[in-house]
Amino acid sequence: MKKQLLVMLEMQDAMNARVNPEWRQAGNAWYRAIWTECAEMLDHYGWKWWKHQQPDLEQVRLELVDIMHFAMSDYLLQDASNEDVAARIAAELSDPRQDNDIRAAIESMAQSTIACRSMHFSDFANVMALIDMDFDQLYRTYVGKNVLNFFRQDHGYQEGSYIKIWDGREDNEHLAELLATLDSTSPGFREEVYRGLTARYPR
C-alpha cells in the first residue's frame, strides 16, 4: 500500500503543478472541495425519499477518488516528505470509523472535514468499506482519474473549451468503462488510459 500511495502522491503533486506551478503557496481550501464532493457523492448514492433512486456505485466511487485528490493535496502541505504522508495515510486507512449507514458515513466525513478544515482518512476508509471498494480498486481508479484530469487540462479545461459530454455521457462514465478493460498492473497503464480517452474524445 505504501508504495502505491507514494506513486499517487507523486501523481497528485504533478497534477497540482500542471494547474498551478505555485500550488503550494496558493492557499487553496482543499477541505471545501472535499465536503462539496461529499454532497455530490450522496446525490449519486441517493437520499431523496420522495422519488425512486438507484445507487450509482461507480459514480460514488469516482467521487470518493476525487476526494482522495484533494485530501492528499492537503496532507502534502502538512508533512515534510512524501514518505511521511504515505505512512500517515496508510495508518489512518487501517483504522476506519464504524458507521454502518453509507449516508451517515458520508455526512460524518463532510461534518468532520468542515470542523477540522481537513479530512481524516479513517472517515474515508469507512466509506470505502461501505461501498465495497478495496485499496487496489482505489489505486486503479485514482490513476485513471488523474490521467483524465491531465487529459482535461490538455484539451482546454481551464480555458473553457473542453467537451465533458461524449456521446450523451460524461467523461467520468467513459473512464469507468475504459478502466474495466485495462490491466492496472501493466507498466504502461497510464499511457493506455490516455490513449483510450483520446480515441473516445469527440473531434
**Tens of pLDDT along 20-69?**
999 999 999 999 999 999 999 999 999 999 999 999 998 899 899 999 99
Counting every residue written for the chain, the total comes to: 203
Q: The whole model's pTM is what?
A: 0.86
Consecutive H or E run containing 165:
strand 165-166
End-to-end, the C-alpha distance of the chain in Å comes to 38
Q: Which whole number is the average pLDDT over 86-109? A: 94
d(CA 176, CA 145): 9
* DSSP character at residue 80: S
pLDDT of the residue at 151: 94
Which residue do the cell numbers 473542453 mark?
Answer: 162
- Please report the domains of the chain, with CATH numbers, ordered by start residue: 1-133 (1.10.4010.10), 134-203 (no CATH)
